[in-house]
Amino acid sequence: MKIAVMTIKTLALLAIIMCLCSCAGSDDIVLYINDTPVTEQEFLLYAVEKKATTAGYFMDKYSAEYGDGFWELDFNGEKPKDKLKSETLEEIVTVKIKQQTAVEYGALDSCDYEDIHKKFTTENERRSKTKSDGGVVYGVSEYSEQQYLHDFNAKLEIATKNVLRENTEITTDELRNYYEEIKEEFYRFPEADEIRVYDTGSEDSPVNRGSKYRDFNDVEDNVLTMYIDKIYNNIIDAERENCKIKYTDKFDKINFEGI
């Protein structure tokens, strides 16, 4: 009986600890994108990428000088922190939708920042160990988190497109139709205007039929890649249009000083 009581008390204590940990983590969340939490730390990582262009905008338009307190300044109603926040939000919404799509298609296990941050830490630990063991480390010996996220998101997009390519049934007729849509822009020979298209009775012979465009059979794989890109972009655009964003009280208090 005493053991049962102790077990109940232990479980209750663990539940309280887990609740407190969860509450502590939620204090840093600034918004949700389709129920995926975005922490202030993650938001600021993407803000760094928009920092220079945003500051440059105010320097060019208002001859502003960058320094302490810059993000809190007001230029005829335009505030650097508001523009930076808006630009960063646009970026991170797209990033999160792409990550959520990757999860949906099985190219990623989780798009929560905590899990991606663990991957970043693990990768740097792997690189450090490889280097100390005398192995070869390709690229940087240690990622900054911005570098890692840029690389991670680029590779993730490729992985998601590969899953689409493997699991989407596309007929040759579909590809030929798409080829006809894009051949003028992508497959026209530079010297096309100098090529005369004529017919001497044999349509199959390249000797007897000139062409202004690369032949479909020669570029079919490339057309497929571009067609998958189109499908992927359509998915992302649709998800972005229908995404739900929920802000927390922390969003208005994001501090850009020091980034």
- pLDDT, one tens digit per residue, over 168-177 is 999 999 999 9
- Domain residues for the domain of 89 are 27-131+143-168+218-253
Give CA–CA dist 61/8, Å, rounded: 65
Using an 8 Å Cβ cutoff, are 45 and 145 in contact? yes
Higher pLDDT, 13 or 26: 26
Tell me what pLDDT residue 192 has. 61
- Locate tokens 């998601």: which residue? 160
Report which residue type is found at 103: V
48 in a domain, yes or no?
A: yes
Tell me what pLDDT residue 20 has. 39
Tell me what pLDDT residue 237 has. 98
The CATH number that applies at residue 127 is 1.10.4030
User: What pTM did the predictor assign?
Assistant: 0.82
Place 259 in a pLDDT band, splitting at 50, 70 and 90: confident
Give CA–CA dist 211/184, Å, rounded: 12
Using an 8 Å Cβ cutoff, are 224 and 233 in contact? no
- Please give the tally of structural domains in the chain: 1
Higher pLDDT, 8 or 154: 154
113 in a domain, yes or no?
A: yes
Strand pairing partners for 31?
A: 38, 247
Tell me what pLDDT residue 190 has. 82
DSSP 197: P
Q: What is the mean pLDDT of residues 215-243?
A: 97
pLDDT at 184 over 90: yes
pLDDT at 29 over 90: yes
Place 198 in a pLDDT band, splitting at 50, 70 and 90: low
DSSP-derived 3-state class of residue 45: helix
Q: Give 53-74 pLDDT, tens digit per residue.
A: 999 999 999 999 999 999 999 9
Q: Give 101-141 pLDDT, tens digit per residue.
A: 999 999 999 999 999 999 999 999 999 999 999 999 999 99
39 in a domain, yes or no?
A: yes
Q: Encoding tokens for residue 195?
A: 């090529």
Q: Encoding tokens for residue 3?
A: 């053991």
